[in-house]
Structure 1
């Protein structure tokens, strides 16, 4: 009898607390509860915004309607599409975010490979200066950079984004150089030594050996850079003026643009929260689509590149 009770208690303890590499029920309960709670905190604003963007004005003022609209009111999205000039603005945003992101990805990989593989005079000093550019807030250099671009007649063009990226100093450029530096530092040097014996030069070793093995790093750098350029409305407003625009900029001007497009007194001219939320959903929807398509490579890139908290 005592043996039966002891065996039952032992099995219960193993089930609840786990044994060896097997996690117990209590540990799993705590972990999954934390994951669900954290996930809810992140998803709640997005779900709330998505649901409310389909509500009519009657649903918004009806305290009985919370999460399920009485009908899918798509006129909010029709108005938001017109206010944002969505098709034209989306193409400009993709160009403004995509071209510098590609340039920055390529140049960061070259600079990171140079720091990882070559020894040259004052290497540590140049590396420290590169890291300092990441620490200095962009607001400090915003006005001097603006005046520099003005002197060279670059304002209002995409070159204000491309030239800094071309020299490894685009948005968060030092971080991306560090990612490639850490990635190439882990690459076994014997592979390149074998290629040198076969007569390969440094350029050939870079694009035949280093680049194919750094696929996750390229993906993560491009995605992070693309998202940062996509959301950078401050520099875009300062450098582009009225020549170029992006979706976040148009979202900031949403109220004024709506008032011009739907003057007061015309049918359906009243701006409400549902229309604003529809505009916000249209602004972030392309990024969500990109993330879901590249999710597997994104997670692998973060894991292998060692990025945390960014």
Structure 2
């Protein structure tokens, strides 16, 4: 009787390994492929369309691979976007605030993690409210504030909020750092205090180097959000400092001005290939940045626990 039960148990285990595990893996792979396709399809479509000529775009038999690769779409998009100037504006209005936000939010989170003060929970809830309230609700008041301070149409409209911990989605970065600092034992701070280090020395000599994974995560997300921001940037920076996303927003109007079609020719009319080329130029710097930082980014996500592990 015992032998039969053991055989039945072994049979069930072998059945599970033979059928259940491959089926589970197949389902997981199908789901992952489907999700990957949903995310990659727009990017692949953008790349292929940007290299297509007008003849290929109107030819229903040409789907993915152009019959003849052309760079005319990129040449025209480059001119309309005013690429060198717009790229420089995008770089310094995104990279500098992202770096400042990464450091300032770390300092704020360190204070919340290591020190006790009156109404601490209230300030944390108030900080979360700045993230939960939609940007459109405070848009008018922000413009009135910066206009009163005469900071509109200047780079300080972007720099100052990041320096004072009120940059784009700063609250979520403070929470990320707070979770990371809470995992660090306070014995590290106590040992440094015994060696004579003050609070600020402990922060930038010990805590910041240990927080490199969180800093990388914060910087990349902050860079992407600052780069793609058009609502606040268009309102506060105006037409004096136009970034690539702002140029892309006005791309159709500017193209019509630079390449008029008064002669009735279809050669200068904007087409889907030119639109895709302009979009590709706009997101290309972010793709290059991610390619260089992808290893550090993946490792930082694992160490900061942002994946939920």
CA distance, structure 1, for counterparts of residue 305 and residue 156 of structure 2: 31
Q: Deviations over 1:162-190 (max 9, x none)?
A: 11111111100111111111111110111
CA distance, structure 2, for counterparts of residue 305 and residue 265 of structure 1: 58
How big is the shift at 1:77? 0.5
* 1:68 equivalent in structure 2: 65
Equivalent pairs, count? 300
Q: Find 2:201's aligned residue among 191, 199, 204.
A: 204
Q: Deviations over 1:177-227 (max 9, x none)?
A: 111111111101111111111111111111121111110100111111111
Instruction: Determine which structure has greater relative contact order: mean sequence separation of CA pairs < 8 Å that are 6+ residues apart, divided by chain length.
Output: 2
* 2:4 equivalent in structure 1: none
How big is the shift at 1:117? 0.3
Instruction: State which drifts further: 6-15 or 256-265.
Output: 6-15
Structure 1 unmatched ranges of 5 or more = 18-23
Structure 1 segments (4+ residues) deviating >6 Å: 5-10
How big is the shift at 1:9? 8.5
Three-state SS of the structure 1 residue aligned to 2:270 is coil
* 1:56 equivalent in structure 2: 53
Q: Aligned runs of 1:103-252 on 2, under 5 Å?
A: 103-252=100-249
How big is the shift at 1:29? 1.1
CA distance, structure 2, for counterparts of residue 151 and residue 245 of structure 1: 22
Structure 2 unmatched ranges of 5 or more = 1-6
CA spacing shift, 1:203–1:72, aligned 2, 3 Å: same
* 2:19 equivalent in structure 1: 16
CA distance, structure 2, for counterparts of residue 80 and residue 152 of structure 1: 37
CA distance, structure 2, for counterparts of residue 170 and residue 308 of structure 1: 23
CA RMSD of aligned residues (A): 1.9
* 1:20 equivalent in structure 2: none
CA distance, structure 1, for counterparts of residue 13 and residue 138 of structure 2: 65
* 2:303 equivalent in structure 1: 304
How big is the shift at 1:8? 8.6
Q: Deviations over 1:21-80 (max 9, x none)?
A: xxx211111111111111011101110111011110000111111111001111000101
TM-score under structure 2 normalisation? 0.92
* 1:21 equivalent in structure 2: none
CA distance, structure 2, for counterparts of residue 113 and residue 183 of structure 1: 10
Q: Deviations over 1:223-280 (max 9, x none)?
A: 1111111011011110011110111111111111111111114673111000000000
